[in-house]
A and B are shown apart, each in its own frame.
Chain A
């Protein structure tokens, strides 16, 4: 090594950790500059804007904590927060369970594994706005959709998106329908890495399918499940597309989430300062959700 470095000073600089002329910096610089200019600096700007009143055109006016004080008095804001937490709570449970059961069933069969995986995964490859419009028109609509078709048989079903008490769940159903297959494919990939002889041994010992899954397979794929739980918390707290396309936060503001509230406040009401304040709350609560999750995980790991 030393000899090689002596022959080529450029390499010497590259391999010296913490050296004065560290050309390795040049290799990470493009990625870093890109990320700083698109993410980090605008994030800092958003934090500053949250203390101002600004319509996006003139000069931002510093108003201290006014945005936050006004927001605390708003019913819409609290509904959005509650909806974000409901959304995340449903998302870390329902699709997780469906996906685990489906992955376990895939382990039982031999023929058709690829077919089922491709089908389950299919919705993830299609744009959210397209899936949302299909559900809005072909399933939920009482005029052109399945809801209307069922009503024609006298069944007591209604468009969930039209009712303030069910709108959020109508959105959740579409998102879960589109998402669980992704989780299933990941869980199945993890399950297949479990040593087959362990499973066979359990069967020989007379263990049932459920017991084998519960006591042999589940613990083996626990790291994957925990990782996907964390990603699900992060992703579901940011929900935007589905709400924006299916209900725009309505009826009233019953299905509003922080993501749609911030976006609409910035681009429909042109109150960028207030919108930035919503975004800041969304980020902080998102971080809180992540840290709660990490703490629970850490505690349960310590116990076991």
Chain B
């Protein structure tokens, strides 16, 4: 039997190591916040110093000059649109696949599984030049469809696990009462998978918000850019003005950080559910 002092010694070591790990994770993020309110000159002489005269005005400055409000609005719009499309197309598909009602449900599942392994570079070039021809570059709806297609397979598989756990008797009872398939979908499947839909909404909106490769390719103007695309455009322009760059970074990261901390339990459960329960 492990002695009591052994246990408390193990506790101390565990807290020490975890503390070091937590510090190393937070350190670069702290540098972002601190150096956003310092001057470029202060950073040049010492990146670790405290701000002598905290310059909070930099936040207002980048907000106005860099059109960040517009970019953050675009990010919200694209995230909301993508989540809506994903939930609307993935739920019915997950339902008929979960209940094996479509002949070829296995082939369809394997197809969706296969698409999740395809790198973006394998389909973005034809899409880009097609969109350019159709005048869909800088179009948020076109971007939503691309994102929705990418996140649908994952959402479908996650929703399937929720649908499988809905008792089939509920559907049969509704059917006996004369409900159509569409009514069953709307009145039973959608409401009873709502925890799954919430998880999908969280993960898809987070991924959409942070996505880089596709957004910088399809959104090229400052008016159309989402927050990450705007940050990419700006990092060229700011050059070595690090306070402005870090203030912009903090403003773009803030919504996802706040969102995550408020809903941490749901995030963590949602993200680990796919991998742990299998």
B170 at the interface (CB under 8 A from A): no
Do A234 and B271 touch (CB < 8 A)?
no
Do B175 and A8 touch (CB < 8 A)?
yes
Do B2 and A193 touch (CB < 8 A)?
no
B56 at the interface (CB under 8 A from A): no
Binding site for A on B (CB under 8 A): 1-2, 10-11, 14-15, 17-18, 21-22, 24-26, 28-29, 31-32, 35, 43-44, 46-48, 85, 88-90, 92-93, 95-97, 100-103, 108, 111-112, 115-130, 132, 145-146, 148-150, 152-153, 156, 172, 175-176, 178, 180-181, 185, 206, 209-210, 212-213, 217, 227-228, 231-232, 235, 240, 242, 245-246, 249, 252-253, 256-257, 259-261, 264, 267-269, 271-272, 275-276, 278
Please, how many angstroms separate the alpha-carbon atoms of A23 and B268 in the complex?
37
The 6 closest A-B pairs by CB, nearest first: A38-B149, A42-B123, A189-B272, A27-B92, A45-B126, A31-B93
13 extra A-B contacts, CB within 8 A, seeds A119-B22, A262-B121: A24-B102, A56-B132, A122-B29, A122-B260, A131-B28, A139-B31, A144-B242, A186-B275, A190-B275, A193-B276, A234-B116, A266-B125, A282-B121
Do A109 and B14 touch (CB < 8 A)?
yes
Do A42 and B126 touch (CB < 8 A)?
yes
Of residues A4, A5, A129, A208, which shows the largest number of chain B Cβ atoms within 10 Å of its Cβ? Answer: A129
Q: How far is the CB of B62 from chain A (nearest CB, A)?
A: 13
With known contacts A105-B18, A189-B276, A134–B103 Cβ distance under 8 A: no
Q: How far is the CB of A52 from chain B (nearest CB, A)?
A: 12
Q: Mark A131-142, 1 if CB is under 8 A from B, else 0.
A: 101110111000
Q: Show 25 A/B contacts (Cβ-Cβ < 8 Å), sorted by A.
A: A1-B172, A4-B172, A4-B175, A8-B175, A10-B181, A24-B181, A28-B102, A30-B92, A31-B90, A31-B112, A32-B111, A34-B89, A39-B149, A42-B126, A46-B122, A125-B259, A127-B253, A138-B35, A146-B48, A149-B46, A223-B278, A227-B278, A238-B120, A244-B212, A279-B119
A283 at the interface (CB under 8 A from B): yes
**Chain A residues near B111 (CB-CB < 8 A):** 32, 35, 40
Of the stretches A14-22, A61-69, A70-78, A155-163, the one at the interface is A14-22
Q: How far is the CB of A242 from chain B (nearest CB, A)?
A: 10
Do A120 and B102 touch (CB < 8 A)?
no
**Chain B residues near A27 (CB-CB < 8 A):** 92-93, 95-96, 102, 181, 185
Please, how many angstroms separate the alpha-carbon atoms of A282 and B172 in the complex?
47
Do B25 and A108 touch (CB < 8 A)?
no
**Chain A residues near B130 (CB-CB < 8 A):** 42
A263 at the interface (CB under 8 A from B): yes
A209 at the interface (CB under 8 A from B): yes
Q: How far is the CB of A14 from chain B (nearest CB, A)?
A: 5
Do A106 and B18 touch (CB < 8 A)?
yes
A130 at the interface (CB under 8 A from B): yes
Q: How far is the CB of B136 from chain A (nearest CB, A)?
A: 12
Please, how many angstroms separate the alpha-carbon atoms of A145 and B29 in the complex?
13
**Chain B residues near A282 (CB-CB < 8 A):** 119, 121-122
Do B149 and A105 touch (CB < 8 A)?
no
Please, how many angstroms separate the alpha-carbon atoms of A267 and B127 in the complex?
13
Do B117 and A134 touch (CB < 8 A)?
no
**Chain A residues near B153 (CB-CB < 8 A):** 35
* Residue on B nearest A231 in the bound complex, by CB: B275
**Chain A residues near B32 (CB-CB < 8 A):** 134, 138
Do A143 and B44 touch (CB < 8 A)?
yes
Do B125 and A134 touch (CB < 8 A)?
no
Of residues A35, A37, A119, which shows the largest number of chain B Cβ atoms within 10 Å of its Cβ? Answer: A35
Binding site for B on A (CB under 8 A): 1, 3-5, 7-8, 10-11, 14-15, 17-18, 22-25, 27-28, 30-32, 34-35, 37-43, 45-46, 49, 56, 98, 101-102, 105-106, 108-109, 112, 114-123, 125-131, 133-135, 137-139, 143-146, 148-149, 177, 181-182, 185-186, 189-190, 193, 203-204, 206, 208-209, 223-224, 227-228, 231, 234, 237-238, 240-241, 244-245, 258-259, 262-263, 266-267, 272, 275-276, 278-280, 282-283, 286-287, 290
Do B271 and A108 touch (CB < 8 A)?
no
Do B96 and A116 touch (CB < 8 A)?
no
Q: How far is the CB of A263 from chain B (nearest CB, A)?
A: 6
Q: How far is the CB of B196 from chain A (nearest CB, A)?
A: 15
Do B11 and A108 touch (CB < 8 A)?
yes
**Chain B residues near A131 (CB-CB < 8 A):** 28
Do B2 and A203 touch (CB < 8 A)?
yes
**From B10, B148, B246, contact of A108 by CB (8 A):** B10
Please, how many angstroms separate the alpha-carbon atoms of A263 and B216 in the complex?
12
Q: How far is the CB of B218 from chain A (nearest CB, A)?
A: 11
Do A290 and B125 touch (CB < 8 A)?
no
Q: How far is the CB of B174 from chain A (nearest CB, A)?
A: 9
With known contacts A185-B268, A227-B278, A266-B125, A286–B117 Cβ distance under 8 A: yes
**Chain A residues near B117 (CB-CB < 8 A):** 234, 286-287, 290
**From B22, B148, B181, contact of A34 by CB (8 A):** B148
**From A11, A42, A244, contact of B181 by CB (8 A):** A11
Do B210 and A144 touch (CB < 8 A)?
no
Do B146 and A38 touch (CB < 8 A)?
yes
**Chain B residues near A120 (CB-CB < 8 A):** 21-22, 25
